[in-house]
Amino acid sequence: MTTFSPAIILIDPQMGENIGMVARAMLNCGLTDLRLVRPRDGWPSEQADCSACGALEKGVVARVFETTEEAIADCHFVVATTARPRDMVKDVYTGRSAAEKIRGLEAQEQQCAILFGPERSGLVNDDIALAHGVVTIPLNPDFTSLNLAQAVLLVSYEWRQAADQTPEVDRHFGDTCPATMDERVQLYQRLFDDLERGGFFTSAERRPTTQRNLTTMLNRMDMTEQEVRTFHGIISALNGKKGSH
Amino acid sequence: MTTFSPAIILIDPQMGENIGMVARAMLNCGLTDLRLVRPRDGWPSEQADCSACGALEKGVVARVFETTEEAIADCHFVVATTARPRDMVKDVYTGRSAAEKIRGLEAQEQQCAILFGPERSGLVNDDIALAHGVVTIPLNPDFTSLNLAQAVLLVSYEWRQAADQTPEVDRHFGDTCPATMDERVQLYQRLFDDLERGGFFTSAERRPTTQRNLTTMLNRMDMTEQEVRTFHGIISALNGKKGSH
């Protein structure tokens, strides 16, 4: 099975350094198809090799085209990134919804492309007209100054996240594992017994409530097996017995 | 109502240029609380002012601290960004799930902070131990080289998106509006009548199917009022009548 991924197309990019940073951001997100339309300072570029931090050797393939039409010739779906709404009837996607749209089309083996304009001026209307939709990344409306590589990073990042399977929150356990409830309850009981001997519970009436509160607090630690042993050692040490840690 | 937003804390940042790019990425996403622990080249920094593109004048406030403990003193929840899993029992968040966690805590008026280590070496274990959890942004495992400002951008971007209300796909209409079905159906019928006169329908039997297919295709254009008028003009022009465009 061929896996599809979108082409990143830079129209009239100026500084080679920026093209290299784009390549780096692409490969961070697993994208490799970079297309350059009329790069001002030519191609290949030493500045690009330098700022790409190896991305141009390790996966990203850059190709140069004379026109936007040639660069998108094999594509089925094209979106144009622009911060400004234009006087055209176009679907406006967020970075996230564009990524989901593209993933859906790629599952149908359609080649997609994302157009980025030159650093200062952005895309011209003729290029935007060719696109099926516009991508406008929702950012702080009072400060939208985003450089080219950062714009490519955000769109590429959303494409990667749209298929990412990483669990939302994953507790890292290393070499240890969570304590069983039996290990925890034994620890809590031992603590309560020692606290009783130390005169901690001043009122027999309130002792059950206090124990429940302590159990709740200690449970929130979600101790590992090793940590239960360490905690026994802490109690012993505070008791004046030799800690087992 | 005070609105909470996370502090971005850079521990031992090296180049002023990178700090400025961090400030720019923060303000792109509406963050303004930047804390610097032992910035190597001192603070303020001309390089930072330059690369911040105005972010340090337009909203981001940077403060300098001697220790991580002082920098996080007022915080209730702290996460540490690191690409490497460490030998600590910690919750590991994605950029997105960390942003959702932080938004939830901020709704409860808790101050949150996100720690970033120095450019080359990343956070030290003592700083990670202080954090409630670790953030690992899921990227291409074969090329994780991400610069400091890009890491800050991705985490800040997720924080902004977590409360973003932009519609997923929004058709931009400018000064015009969608055509009514009546305007469309009249256009299609006019086209079919003209096509009949031009001998387009070779088989009376297949004409209904052909018309349905044309209706389907034309409907996908989702024409505006103005575009319906333009299309009438196109038909007239092709018919040899004067176009009404």
- Contacts of residue B54 in chain A, CB cutoff 8 Å? 143, 145
Q: Which two tokens stand for residue A66?
A: 């004379």
User: Nearest 5°: phi and psi at A51?
Assistant: -80, -10
Q: What is the mean pLDDT of chain A?
A: 93
The two three-digit tokens of residue A46, written as one number? 């030493």
DSSP state of A224: B
B contacts of A54 (beta carbons < 8 Å): 143, 145
Residues of chain B with pLDDT under 70: 1-2, 84-86, 241-245
Residue A134 has φ and ψ, to the nearest 5°, of -115, 140
Q: Quick count: other Cβ atoms within 10 Å of Cβ A122?
A: 17
Q: Report the relative pairing of strands A169-172 and B90-93 from DSSP bridges.
A: antiparallel
How far is the alpha carbon of A44 from chain B, nearest alpha carbon, in Å? 21
Q: Mean pLDDT across the stretch A138-145?
A: 91
Whether residue B186 lies within 8 A of chain A, CB to CB, comes out as no
How many Å lie between the alpha carbon of B94 and the closest alpha carbon of chain A?
6
Mean pLDDT comparison of A28-32, A168-172, B235-239, highest-scoring range: A28-32
Three-state DSSP string of chain B? CCCCCCEEEEECCCCHHHHHHHHHHHHHCCCCEEEEECCCCCCCCHHHHHHCCCCCCCCCEEEEECCHHHHCCCCCEEEEECCCCCCCCEEEECHHHHHHHHHHHHHCCCCEEEEECCCCCCCCHHHHHHCCEEECCCCCCCCCCCCHHHHHHHHHHHHHHCCCCCCCEEEECCCCCECCHHHHHHHHHHHHHHHHHCCCCCCCCCHHHHHHHHHHHHHCCCCEHHHHHHHHHHHHHHCCCCCCC
Q: Is A144 on the interface with B (CB under 8 A)?
A: yes
- Report CB contact under 8 Å: B28, A94: no
* Per-residue pLDDT at A85: 62
- Are B140 and A160 inside 8 Å of each other by CB? yes
The whole-number pLDDT of residue A86 equals 65
Disruptive mutation site among B29, B88, B89, B221 for chain A (greatest number of A CBs within 10 Å)? B89
What are the φ and ψ backbone dihedral angles of A33, each rounded to 5 degrees? -100, 95
For an interface test with B, the pick among A31, A103, A134, A140 (most B C-beta atoms closer than 10 Å) comes out as A140
A245, pLDDT greater than 60? no
Q: Does B220 touch chain A (CB under 8 A)?
A: no
In this complex, which of B92, B97, B176 lies closest to A172 when CB atoms are compared? B92
Peptide bond into B44 cis (omega under 30): yes
B57 near A CB under 8 A: no
Q: Choose between B245 and A4: higher pLDDT.
A: A4
Nearest to B91 among A142, A146, A169 (CB): A169
Q: Is B56 within 8 Å of B48 (Cβ atoms)?
A: yes
- B182 reaches A (C-beta below 8 A): no
β-strands B90-93, B112-116 pairing: unpaired
Query: Sorting pLDDT into bands at 50, 70 and 90, what band is A1?
Result: very low
- Could you give the CA distance from residue B71 to residue B77 in angstroms, rounded to a whole number? 13
User: Which residue(s) pair with B33 in the sheet?
Assistant: B61
0.95 surpassed by complex ipTM: no
**Do A161 and B96 count as a contact with CB atoms less than 8 A apart?**
yes
Q: Radius of gyration (Cα) for chain A, nearest Å?
A: 29
CB under 8 Å to B225, separation ≥6 — which residues? B176, B177, B178, B179, B180, B183
First vs last C-alpha separation in chain B: 55
DSSP state of A178: B
Q: Do A133 and B169 touch (CB under 8 A)?
A: yes
Minimal Cβ distance to A157: which of B27, B145, B154: B154
- Distance between CA atoms of residues B76 and B88, nearest Å: 20
A57 touches chain B (CB under 8 A): no
Residue A226 has pLDDT above 90, yes or no: yes
Touching check for B5 and chain A: CB below 8 Å? no
Q: For residues A34 and B82, what is the distance between their CA atoms, to the nearest angstrom?
A: 28
Pick the more confident residue, A8 or B177.
Answer: A8
pLDDT at residue A176, as a whole number: 85
Q: Are A131 and A80 in contact (CB under 8 A)?
A: yes
pTM of the shown model? 0.90
A126, A37 Cβ separation under 8 angstroms: no
Say yes or no: B240 contacts chain A, CB-CB below 8 A.
no
* Interchain CB distance below 8 Å, B55 and A88: no
A205: closest CA of chain B, how far (Å): 34
pLDDT digits (tens, 9 = 90+) for B98-111: 999 999 999 999 99
The closest CB to that of A140, out of B29, B149, B168, belongs to B29
CA distance A34 to chain B (A): 16
Task: Identify the sign of the CA torsion B118, B121, B122, B126.
Answer: negative
pLDDT digits (tens, 9 = 90+) for A50-79: 999 999 999 999 999 999 999 999 999 999
Gap between the Cα atoms of B9 and B35, Å rounded: 5
Q: Considering only alpha carbons, which residue of chain A is nearest residue B52?
A: A145
CA dist list (Å): A213 to A29, A191, A206, A218, B29: 46, 13, 11, 9, 41
pLDDT for B243? 47
Query: What's the pLDDT score for residue B116?
Result: 98
Cβ–Cβ contact A168 with B under 8 A: yes
Q: By the 8 A CB rule, do A12 and A43 touch?
A: no
> Hey, are the CB atoms on A171 and B91 less than 8 Å from each other?
yes
**Within 10 Å of residue A121's Cβ, how many Cβ atoms?**
9
How many contiguous H segments (helices) and E segments (strands) does chain A have? 9, 8
